[in-house]
């Protein structure tokens, strides 16, 4: 669903799971989503590049997730900027 905004299916699953369980880390995402650690970390990299998640300054193993309404604004602004550049 979010692939038109640069988010593949795996990254979308990870994002949604992080919204539902914001205190969980990579290990819990791997277990809950039945993905490999590499798949989860790849999705987190994608989400990080899109500014939808970021590392916690207190704990580099945990992440913070951007709320959906802000995420939509970030992604739409990015798409608008790309369109304007074209």
Give pLDDT tens digits for 20-63.
999 888 999 999 999 999 999 999 999 998 888 988 788 777 88
Please give the pLDDT value at position 32.
Answer: 96
Which of 8-12, 21-25, 44-48, 82-86 bottoms out in mean pLDDT, i.e. has the lowest?
82-86
pLDDT tier at 4, thresholds 50, 70, 90? low
Residue 33's CB is within 10 A of a number of other CB atoms, namely 16
Determine the Cα–Cα distance for residues 7 and 72; give it in Å rounded to an integer.
12
Please give the pLDDT value at position 35.
Answer: 97
Q: DSSP letter at 64?
A: E
Q: Per-residue pLDDT for 2 more than 70? A: no
Determine the Cα–Cα distance for residues 52 and 16; give it in Å rounded to an integer.
11
């Amino acid at each position: 669903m979010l692939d038109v905004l640069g988010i593949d299916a795996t990254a979308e699953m990870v994002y949604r799971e992080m919204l539902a369980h914001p205190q969980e880390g990579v290990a819990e995402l791997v277990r809950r989503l039945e993905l490999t650690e590499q798949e989860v970390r790849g999705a987190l990299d994608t989400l990080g590049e899109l500014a939808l998640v970021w590392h916690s300054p207190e704990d580099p193993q945990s992440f913070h997730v951007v709320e959906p309404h802000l995420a939509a604004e970030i992604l739409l602004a990015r798409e608008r900027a790309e369109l304007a550049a074209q």
